[in-house]
Amino acid sequence: MSQAIAKKRLDYQAPNYLINEVDLVIELDPTDTIITSTLKCETSPHAISSNAGVASEQDLILDGEDLKLISVFLNGSAFTNYRIEEGKLVIPQAELAQLTDFTLQIKNSVDPINNGSLEGLYLSNEAYCTQCEAEGFRKITYFLDRPDVLSVYTVTIIAEKAAFPHVLSNGNLVEERDLADGKKLVKWHDPFKKPCYLFALVAGNFDKLSDSFTTMSGRQIQLELFVDKGKASQGHHALASLKKAMKWDEDVFGLEYDLDIYMVVAVDFFNMGAMENKGLNVFNSKFVLADSNTATDDDFFNIESIIGHEYFHNWTGNRVTCRDWFQLSLKEGLTVFRDQQFSADMFSYLATRISQVKVMREHQFAEDAGPMSHPIRPDEVIEMNNFYTVTVYDKGAEVIRMLHTLLTADGFRRGMDLYFERHDGQAVTCDDFVNAMQDANEVNLDHFKLWYSQSGTPRVKVESGLESGSKELNFTQRTNPTADQADKRALYLPIKVECLERSGRKIDLNLNNDTFVLDKANASVTVPSEDFVPVLLSDFSAPVILDYPYSLEDYLLIMTFSSSDYSKWDASQALYSSLISELYHNESVELSTSVWGKLEAALRQACNNYELLNEMLTIPSVESLTQGFEFSEPLKLSAARSAFLVQMQENLQDFLLEIMANTAQKSYEYTKVQVNERRVLSAVLQLLSYSKTPEMAAQLEKRFNSADNMTDKLTMLKASQICSVELFEKLMLSFESEYLENAVVMDKWFALHATTKSNDILSKLTLLASHRQFNLRNPNKVRSLVGSFAFYNTDGFHAIDGSGYQFLTDYLLELDPINPQIAARLVTPLIQYKKFAKSHQEMMVMQLKRLLNRANLSKDLYEKVSKSLT
């Protein structure tokens, strides 16, 4: 692996050259697109003052990857004194020595149709599109491909007129005219300086939806949404979401949109969710297209949240961007936090918060416990694409949330205002952000900053001790060493605490905002009571694992009396986990009937709050249960979880049937009330399906056939997957024939098949991979089929003979040369082998070694696989 060299955060150096203006002329062609790039460059003041290094350090080194160079001109004259080194174009310093300003013109070509990496310029179905973050611009032309080089772009695109009615780039349209040979020329200009990762180009034949938004200062912004032909009616929710996001950012942060036009394009081939290119967002079509027939309630929710996310980047990411990629959380952690607040305001706090906490506990804690552990601001990176992680994004958002908690909403807003006042138009660091928060609030955040540099999940152990008559809660924090860092320090942790007497009465603890700040290894709180139950870490006030010796009675008390719905849910999950763990250690145990009666009583209290009831009726996933064990036996754990569900169903049947009877089918609307009703019904039907009775199967079939929306259809499919194989197969066939032509919907179908418990799951998967809607080059398909299998089919993936591991590995070997980014995402369940029992570990390691031995393994896979094997 000659190219697999780690870059280090502390090696950062400012650029030696600046590129102030970029003029691109792009002549589109599927195999031979020609790019002429004219760069107005300047020797950076930094380069002149720091003359310490050797001369070659001052060479102008332009990144490039998979490019064919055609010609170079310097200040108008043909120039041949360049070198190509490892794909990069090097202009020797000697050639630039006398110049402070110069113009470089570079002509090169690229091959979009054969670009399976979906990075740089590629074709999605018939449309051209680009993806440049993090380092994809270098796959379009030679450039200083780093986020601290900011330029004004003018982009001219030449395309066939008939095939490409819509030809788009960032900023404002300045010219459009016909050329000879059925071609046309379209020119865009973006007045805002930006890093090249925010460049975008799209050309295709779309349906267009238009709307407008009037900003708080009265400017009219044109909004345009581009979707595949015939799908315009599925774009309304996305467009409405965009307007809500624009309004919300004005109301909450005083941030107004800056250009006169905002465009969003949906494409089917996309490596991630969406991309915030200036004025021209590109979206994975599954996060745009929605109507009640094709999208679930969750899809509607996710679309609003991701549309919001990309819109919010216009300020947190675009107007103020990252100095270098180690600072990624500067824009991502902050923007995720902003989209989370937006979702909570638009939909509801509880369900939104719970889904975020599940991501942290199921995925981020696992990442931190595995070979890819890194701080939210990483120190070392081989392939940047590997660091678009749950740590940088979601833990990053948790860190911002703690600031918000500590400074309050007003203080946080003051910090944001100062951040923009200081840094608008700049490329800055995470420290710059925290300093703005600190200075605006006159607090010292030095200790808090440790959250940016320390990886790992802190464990907070809480014990109650009797101290001279009064009781105390003693807190101890400890972060175990992680793969990347041996030594850990005590962090600054805000912990929400409530104490309940056995009667359920709340005890006053005299804490500011009910929050106890643990800022050293140990500290304690005095509780004026002899016998109480502490409710700890409400709202997940810090991203930590909490450890307190609760009894089942304690959990039930919290579920009944806590003042926080979040904590009621949290206690229910802990209760289920401990019962499942009992079954895990002793398969044949019949849980005591008294538990069920008390559980039912606690659940009944939530019957007037369907949002909460649904959450309390949802049992922790195998993935989240796995985190609670040292060397888990995945098959045993999955069996224990199923056994628990069977017993729960038997013991709560009357209660569940009662809820089922109380929820009537209504004609579909995406409203909070209806969503919560459908969710409760879904939870109840899935639980009841563990009875596996013909009556239940008949009930599901009837409901499937009369469903008027995708949410209910999917509920019935999931329930039938539990209830009856025959019914499941039957309904899946009918679903397939109804939605065969809809790529986004068929992803759900592939995912359901891939998560089925079945002895011949691998031959099923192989058959599905030859389905006409399947395509190895399409990330959505790969994620639905192979990703769902590896991440969520415990019984199949962890099959006792290792065949699941082998299946994934075979697949990755095939995918890696085409799309390394996706291959590296899918390897995650394999590299986290250390949390499983020895026999599984050995088989997983064997497959990882197969990967590592492959010649020409991508940097992406190499980084993850090699780390996992050390």
Positive or negative: CA dihedral 535, 539, 542, 547: positive
**Could you say which of 158, 201, 275, 612 contacts ligand ARG (CB under 6 A)?**
275
Are 227 and 285 a contacting pair, CB within 8 Å?
A: yes
In sequence order, what are the residues at sequence separation of 6 or more whose Cβ sits closer than 8 angstroms to the Cβ of residue 422?
A: 432, 436
Least distance CB 385 / ligand ARG (angstroms): 4
Least distance CB 313 / ligand ARG (angstroms): 6
Which residues, numbered 291-350, are part of the site for Zn ion (CB under 5 A)?
Answer: 332, 335
Name the residue among 850, 856, 119 with its Cα closest to residue 865: 850
Between 428 and 697, CB nearer to ligand ARG: 428
Least distance CB 1 / ligand ARG (angstroms): 20
712 forms part of the interface with ligand ARG (CB under 6 A) = no
In sequence order, what are the residues at sequence separation of 6 or more whose Cβ sits closer than 8 angstroms to the Cβ of residue 101?
A: 40, 41, 42, 43
Residue 21 bears catalytic tag? no
The residue range among 153-161, 274-282, 415-423, 787-795 that interacts with ligand ARG, by the rule CB under 6 A, is 274-282
The contact mask relative to ligand ARG for 540-579 (x = CB under 6 A, - = no) is ----------------------------------------
CB-count exposure of residue 78 (10 Å: 0-12, 13-18, 19+): exposed
Q: How many residues of this chain interact with ligand ARG, rule: CB under 6 A?
A: 12
Between 156 and 271, CB nearer to ligand ARG: 271
Rounded to 5 degrees, φ, ψ at 654 are -60, -45
**Could you say which of 63, 297, 310, 701 contacts ligand ARG (CB under 6 A)?**
310
339 forms part of the interface with ligand ARG (CB under 6 A) = no
**Could you say which of 108, 385, 682, 819 contacts ligand ARG (CB under 6 A)?**
385
Least distance CB 400 / Zn ion (angstroms): 13
For residues 341 and 349, give the distance between their C-alpha atoms in angstroms, rounded to a whole number: 8
Least distance CB 730 / ligand ARG (angstroms): 39
> CA dihedral defined by 677, 680, 683, 685, rounded to 10 degrees?
-60
Between 26 and 272, CB nearer to Zn ion: 272
Strands ordered across the beta sheet of 60-62: 60-62, 88-91, 83-85
Pick one of ligand ARG, Zn ion, none as the site partner of residue 275 (Cβ within 5 to 8 A by kind).
ligand ARG
The DSSP letter of residue 395 is: I
Between 151 and 335, CB nearer to Zn ion: 335
The DSSP letter of residue 445 is: -
Pick one of ligand ARG, Zn ion, none as the site partner of residue 493 (Cβ within 5 to 8 A by kind).
none
Name the residue among 818, 753, 820, 761 with its Cα closest to residue 788: 753
**Could you say which of 150, 246, 272, 288 contacts ligand ARG (CB under 6 A)?**
272
Least distance CB 242 / ligand ARG (angstroms): 14
Least distance CB 317 / ligand ARG (angstroms): 7
Strands ordered across the beta sheet of 120-124: 120-124, 127-131, 201-204, 166-169
Name the residue among 564, 510, 507 with its Cα closest to residue 540: 564
**Could you say which of 145, 224, 249, 276 contacts ligand ARG (CB under 6 A)?**
276
For residues 851 and 768, give the distance between their C-alpha atoms in angstroms, rounded to a whole number: 24
User: 119, 310, 383, 863: which one is catalytic?
Assistant: 310
Which residues, numbered 660-719, are part of the site for Zn ion (CB under 5 A)?
Answer: none
Are 810 and 606 a contacting pair, CB within 8 Å?
A: no
Least distance CB 135 / ligand ARG (angstroms): 8
Between 332 and 677, CB nearer to Zn ion: 332
Least distance CB 228 / ligand ARG (angstroms): 21
Between 435 and 821, CB nearer to ligand ARG: 821
Instruction: Say if residue 134 is preceded by a cis peptide, omega within 30 of 0.
Output: yes
Are 561 and 532 a contacting pair, CB within 8 Å?
A: no
- How many CB atoms neighbour CB 703 within 10 A? 19
For the chain, give the number of residues.
870
Provide the β-strand partners of residue 101.
42
- How many CB atoms neighbour CB 178 within 10 A? 10
Residue reference for tokens 């200083």: 144
Between 153 and 393, CB nearer to Zn ion: 393
For residues 603 and 423, give the distance between their C-alpha atoms in angstroms, rounded to a whole number: 50
What is the β-pairing status of strands 321-322 and 427-428? parallel
Pick one of Zn ion, ligand ARG, none as the site partner of residue 274 (Cβ within 5 to 8 A by kind).
ligand ARG
Which residues, numbered 146-205, are part of the site for Zn ion (CB under 5 A)?
Answer: none
Between 28 and 267, CB nearer to ligand ARG: 267
Between 138 and 187, CB nearer to ligand ARG: 138
In sequence order, what are the residues at sequence separation of 6 or more whose Cβ sits closer than 8 angstroms to the Cβ of residue 35?
A: 24, 25, 26, 27, 107, 108, 109, 110, 140, 141
DSSP string, 330-345: HHHHHHHHHHHHHHHH
Rounded to 5 degrees, φ, ψ at 15 are -70, 145
Between 616 and 861, CB nearer to ligand ARG: 861
The contact mask relative to ligand ARG for 242-271 (x = CB under 6 A, - = no) is -----------------------------x
Least distance CB 197 / ligand ARG (angstroms): 8
For residues 86 and 551, give the distance between their C-alpha atoms in angstroms, rounded to a whole number: 62
Pick one of ligand ARG, Zn ion, none as the site partner of residue 385 (Cβ within 5 to 8 A by kind).
ligand ARG
Which residues, numbered 388-417, are part of the site for ligand ARG (CB under 6 A)?
Answer: 388
Q: Nearest residue to ligand ARG, using CB?
A: 388
Provide the β-strand partners of residue 77.
74
**Could you say which of 24, 134, 546, 575 contacts ligand ARG (CB under 6 A)?**
134
Q: Please report, as ranges, the residues that interact with ligand ARG according to CB under 6 A.
A: 133-134, 271-272, 274-276, 309-310, 332, 385, 388
Positions marked active-site: 310
Q: Please report, as ranges, the residues that interact with Zn ion according to CB under 5 A.
A: 332, 335
